[in-house]
Amino acid sequence: MRYLHTMVRVTDLDKSLHFYCDLLGLKEVRRFSSAKGRYTLVFLCAPADEELAKERNAPLIELTYNWDREVYTGGRSFGHLAYRVDNIYELCERLMRGGVVINRPPRDGHMAFVRSPDNISIELLQEGDHLPPAEPWASMPNTGSW
């Protein structure tokens, strides 16, 4: 058995790609559209997984964009996606500059949570040791839920 991907449905493909690629830093490795099925699939990976993703098609996140509008509701059975990052403070700063709310700031220099444009919870974990506490993160309150 081998892990392949996690699929999340998105309502605005351009907005989602901006979030996942431009702000979060994931890489698009392949895309497939079906006019008959009226959908587009976009497969993304973390930069450190790019070679493996191209070679073995895993591990990936699949964004599914259905061309016909739907309203998606999420249950509590799906928790979150998680990524290890090189510098959690720099990534959170880039996300904030891009208009993303930091729901759980990295006060401890180790963990933060944000949400995608389609309300998917994403956990960010610092690679290696925790970074020393720093402002504005150390005193930033939680916003919303994650």
Burial code of 1-21, b = ≥16 C-beta within 10 A, e = fewer? Answer: eeeebeebbbeebeebbebbe
- Do the beta carbons of residue 121 and residue 81 sit within 8 Å? yes
The two structure tokens encoding residue 131: 């970074």
- Which residue intervals of the chain are DSSP H helices? 13-17, 50-56, 88-97
123 is catalytic: yes
Sign of torsion over alpha carbons 42, 47, 48, 52: positive
Q: Which of 50, 62, 93, 123 is catalytic?
A: 123
Residues assigned a catalytic role: 123
